[in-house]
Structures are given as structure tokens and as C-alpha cells.
Amino acid sequence: MPHVITIPCVVKGKKNHTIFDQERDFSYLVDEYMGMEARNLFEEIIEGYKDQLKEVLGDDYESIADGYHNALVDTANSLKEELDKPKLSRKNLETIWRNLHSNL
């Protein structure tokens, strides 16, 4: 969702800026109004916060969830194949159970 901020300019009065990608667009405004050194400092601070978040949150949760989803889909497909056979094999069902249990 875009945000509009107003920056008072000494010479030109107030100027509105729309920020779509918060980090990049805001970084551009810092560079435009405060200079490249301020932009570099701002980006360095943001990267520090990102590193701290990675330490706290660990891995990417979306990819972890996708992995679990794929494992469950594979297990469901294996189970369906086994149930569609005319005769159930207890050994095959136990193998499917062990694979599911080890993946979770």
C-alpha cells in the first residue's frame, strides 16, 4: 500500500512524495534531502535490523511451510495409491507412516 509523506522544503514550500517500496523509496528521499552519507547510514542501519530479524526468526517460514506441505501431499498420494490397491499391505502402510513421522 503506497504512503504519501509531505516534506517541507525551505525554498519551494511543501512537497508530497509517494512511497511504494518503503525501503528503496525512503532511501531515495534520504539521499535527495540529506545526502549520500545519510543514505548509506540509513541503509546500514536497515541491514543491521534485517540481520537481527534473521537471527530471531531463523529460516524463511514460507519455504519451511512449503516443504511441509509438499511432504504431506506426497504422503497423501502414497496413502491414496496404497488404499486403491485391491489388497492392503500392512508393511507398505507402516512405511508410509514412518516417512510421514520422520518428515514432521
Query: If you search the block for the grid coordinates 504512503, which residue do you land on?
Result: 3
Euclidean distance between CA atoms 98 and 75, whole angstroms? 10
Residue type, 89: S
Q: What is the pLDDT of residues 6-20, one digit of tens each?
A: 777 665 667 777 777
Distant-in-sequence, close-in-space partners of 29: CB < 8 Å, separation ≥ 6: 5, 7, 17, 19
> Burial, 26: exposed, middle or buried (Cβ in 10 Å; 0-12, 13-18, 19+)?
middle
Please state the rounded mean pLDDT for residues 15-35. 79
Global pTM value: 0.45
Provide the 3-class DSSP secondary structure of residue 6: strand
Residue type, 25: D
Q: What is the pLDDT of residues 73-101, one digit of tens each?
A: 888 888 888 888 888 888 888 888 887 77
